[in-house]
Amino acid sequence: MDYVRKLKGKVSRATVLRLRAVSMTVLTTALGLMPLVFSTGPGSEVQRPLAIVVLGGLTTLILSTLFVMPALYGVFAGRWSLKREG
């Protein structure tokens, strides 16, 4: 049980450390794409869908990096350590 507690602490600390880097990258990119999302001039038929797709990808990135990957790491690292000890 002590190993699991240590692992959870390490995963949560790593998530907090990654939060700043990932959120700053996503925020600056999203702010840079906002003019493309709201443009109405010539060429906006191509730019707007591209910007929306990129913003959707950034949303998926931040959710997977901050929530899904730490959870998966906790699950698989725990299983791997139990097999190695046994």
pTM of the shown model:
0.67
User: How far from the centroid of its chain's Cα atoms is residue 16's Cα?
Assistant: 12
Q: Terminus-to-terminus CA distance in the chain, angstroms?
A: 15
Annotated domain spans of the chain = 49-86
pLDDT in tens, 11-58: 778 878 888 888 888 899 999 999 988 988 888 888 999 999 999 999
